[in-house]
């Protein structure tokens, strides 16, 4: 009956666990999700973040396992022996059997560690292991913020490019219609009409290419968010908000201590220093206390083996101390110190890499900022040029080729502006990551 209850309890726990997992997976993003909503969702659901959080939970179990040796250890050992030939000794001229044919024992023993270098190290390392696992999760979250933000900006760029292409297509369709009408009445030759057809075909191809790329970019964002393929994803875009986010203070000095990678290396060094100390602790003896109680049964007849009990009980201390191990511990201490020095060089190399990364990201940001300003001015200029030439063409002053050139220049400058905006926002994220300013809260 008790076994059935246990099985029922385990089945219930399994069902609840599966239900909780299903509820977690069924979380949906709101329609027209903003960038912040995407980031919040990714920090809760991205697979790499989930894995890091599971690693934290696993690490906690490892800590509990390593510290369990400090608790009393209780064991039970049983035995049965059949003495085929019972030894006989002669005492005072009398032959006396030293035992009986059947012997059985049941021993219950409790052990308590009092001094153990391995357990001392495990206790002191627990907080560092826990910190390292948290830092790993933080690193995954920082990457999630950067990746999701860049994917969002990339989709934004593509969406705006599609709008520009479709506006261009609408203008070209009207121009094609006008050129066809002028050709039909003999005002112009077929050259303008053919050029309008070519321009429209090229714009239709541009639209098709960007629409296909947009599908992939949405799927990539779904992957970053850990969304199921069938889940719907719609985004909210606001160009004015995007432009308000481009400015960044590049005068602040970089501090390597803000980088999660630097913090992780510092934690690794502290753990290695503790390992060095552990190898020194191994020179100490291991001391433990024990107490046991034994039930001893002996009889020449197996059927009467457990009729009589001859109990015994022992309490005492165990001490273990290595006198000479071939200089093993000394070499372990020396090796661990070399590993500490190795981590010091890793830290130094990381500092240099962070400074270089910051210099590159800041230079890229400044260059992209200048490109963006130039592209924005060029858009305004190309609009003025197009509108002027369009009026001249409508009045018959300018050739259609000039109108096509102005139309193409406008489209190119608009594309360049969007590409510059994406590059600027992306490089801003790189600068923020370089200085350790990405927020995950």
For 115-152, b/e burial (b = at least 16 CB within 10 A) is ebbebbbbeebbebbbbbbbbbbbbbbbbbbbbbbbbb
Residue 110 lies in a domain: yes
Residue 22 lies in a domain: no
Q: Is the pLDDT of residue 16 over 70?
A: no
Does 32 or 26 have the greater pLDDT score?
A: 32
Tokens linked to 224:
């970053």
Q: Verify that 85 and 143 share a domain, yes or no.
A: no
Highest mean pLDDT (candidates 6-20, 22-36, 347-361): 347-361
pLDDT band for position 223 (cuts 50, 70, 90): very high
Q: Verify that 380 and 335 share a domain, yes or no.
A: yes
pLDDT band for position 185 (cuts 50, 70, 90): confident
At residue 165, the pLDDT reads 93
The dihedrals phi and psi of 232, each to the nearest 5 degrees, come to -80, 140
**Of 55-64, 179-188, 292-301, 368-377, minimum mean pLDDT range:** 179-188
Q: Verify that 102 and 122 share a domain, yes or no.
A: no
Residue 253 lies in a domain: yes
At residue 441, the pLDDT reads 80
pLDDT tens digits along 147-176: 999 999 999 899 989 999 999 999 888 888
Q: Is the pLDDT of residue 267 over 70?
A: yes
How does DSSP classify residue 257?
G
Q: Verify that 47 and 180 share a domain, yes or no.
A: yes
Taking all residues of the chain, what is their mean pLDDT, rounded to a whole number? 88
User: Is the CB of residue 366 less than 8 Å from the CB of residue 428?
Assistant: no
Q: Verify that 295 and 422 share a domain, yes or no.
A: no
Q: Verify that 203 and 314 share a domain, yes or no.
A: no
At residue 239, the pLDDT reads 52
Does 243 or 345 have the greater pLDDT score?
A: 345
At residue 241, the pLDDT reads 61
At residue 11, the pLDDT reads 40
pLDDT tens digits along 283-329: 999 999 999 999 999 998 999 999 989 999 999 999 998 898 899 99
Q: What is the mean pLDDT of residues 387-398?
A: 86
Could you say which of 320, 344, 372 is where a domain stops? 320
Q: Verify that 99 and 134 share a domain, yes or no.
A: no
Q: Verify that 302 and 212 share a domain, yes or no.
A: no
Residue 21 lies in a domain: no
Radius of gyration of the chain (CA): 39
Q: Verify that 346 and 257 share a domain, yes or no.
A: yes
Q: Is the pLDDT of residue 365 over 70?
A: yes
Q: Verify that 195 and 313 share a domain, yes or no.
A: no
**CATH code: domain of residue 61:** 1.20.1600.10
Give me the domain span that covers residue 254. 28-71+116-285+327-434
With pLDDT > 70 as the criterion, what percentage of the chain qualifies?
A: 92
Q: Verify that 65 and 167 share a domain, yes or no.
A: yes
Determine how many CB atoms are found less than 10 A away from the CB of residue 249: 8
Residue 1 lies in a domain: no
pLDDT tens digits along 77-108: 999 999 888 888 878 878 888 888 999 999 99
Q: What is the mean pLDDT of residues 265-289?
A: 95
The dihedrals phi and psi of 333, each to the nearest 5 degrees, come to -65, -45
At residue 342, the pLDDT reads 97
Q: Is the pLDDT of residue 39 over 50?
A: yes
Residue 172 lies in a domain: yes
User: Is the CB of residue 175 less than 8 Å from the CB of residue 126?
Assistant: no
Domain count, the chain: 2
Q: Is the pLDDT of residue 406 over 50?
A: yes
At residue 17, the pLDDT reads 43
| Residue 294 half-sphere exposure toward CB, CA atoms < 13 A | 14
Distances (CA, A) of 112 to 27, 42, 317, 336: 49, 47, 9, 30
At residue 23, the pLDDT reads 41
At residue 188, the pLDDT reads 66
Strand partners, 79: 105
With pLDDT > 90 as the criterion, what percentage of the chain qualifies?
A: 66
Tokens linked to 238:
């606001």
Does 7 or 45 have the greater pLDDT score?
A: 45
Residue 7 lies in a domain: no
Q: What is the mean pLDDT of residues 385-396?
A: 88
Q: Verify that 408 and 388 share a domain, yes or no.
A: yes
Residue 58 lies in a domain: yes
């Amino acid at each position: 009956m008790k076994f059935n209850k246990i099985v029922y309890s385990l089945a219930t726990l399994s069902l609840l666990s599966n239900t909780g997992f299903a509820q977690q997976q069924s979380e949906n993003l709101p329609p027209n999700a903003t960038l912040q909503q995407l980031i919040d969702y990714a920090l809760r659901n991205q697979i790499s973040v989930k894995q890091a959080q599971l690693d934290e939970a696993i690490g906690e179990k490892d800590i509990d396992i390593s510290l369990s040796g400090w608790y009393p250890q209780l064991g039970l050992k049983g035995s049965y022996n059949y003495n085929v030939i019972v030894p006989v000794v002669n005492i005072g001229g009398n032959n006396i059997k030293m035992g009986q044919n059947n012997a059985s024992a049941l021993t219950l023993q409790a052990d308590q560690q009092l001094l153990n270098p391995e357990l001392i190290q495990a206790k002191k390392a627990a907080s560092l292991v826990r910190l390292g696992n948290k830092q790993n999760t933080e690193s995954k979250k920082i990457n999630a913020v950067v990746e999701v933000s860049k994917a969002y900006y990339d989709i934004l760029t593509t969406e705006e490019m599609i709008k520009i292409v479709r506006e261009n297509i609408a203008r070209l369709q009207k121009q094609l219609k006008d050129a066809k009408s002028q050709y039909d009445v003999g005002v112009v030759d077929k050259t303008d009409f053919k050029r309008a057809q070519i321009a429209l075909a090229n714009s239709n191809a541009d639209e098709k290419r960007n629409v296909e790329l947009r599908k992939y970019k949405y799927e990539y964002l779904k992957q970053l968010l850990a969304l199921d393929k069938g889940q719907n994803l719609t985004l909210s875009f606001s160009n004015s908000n995007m432009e308000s986010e481009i400015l960044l203070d590049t005068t602040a000095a970089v501090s390597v201590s803000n980088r999660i990678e630097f913090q992780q290396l510092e934690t690794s060094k502290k753990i290695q220093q503790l390992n060095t100390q552990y190898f020194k602790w191994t020179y100490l003896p291991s001391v433990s206390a024990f107490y046991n109680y034994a039930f001893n049964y002996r009889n020449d007849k197996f059927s009467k083996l457990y009729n009589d009990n001859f109990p015994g009980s022992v309490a005492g201390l165990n001490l273990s101390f290595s006198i000479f191990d071939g200089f093993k511990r000394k070499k372990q201490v020396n090796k661990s110190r070399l590993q500490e020095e190795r981590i010091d060089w890793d830290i130094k190399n990381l500092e240099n890499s962070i400074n270089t990364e910051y210099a590159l990201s800041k230079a890229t940001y400044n260059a992209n900022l200048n490109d963006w300003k130039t592209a924005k001015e060029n858009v305004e200029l190309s609009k003025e040029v197009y509108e002027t030439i369009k009026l001249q063409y409508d009045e018959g002053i300018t050739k259609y080729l000039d109108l096509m050139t102005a139309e193409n220049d406008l489209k190119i400058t608009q594309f360049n502006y969007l590409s510059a905006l994406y590059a600027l926002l992306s490089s801003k994220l790189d600068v923020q990551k370089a200085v350790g300013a990405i927020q995950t809260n």
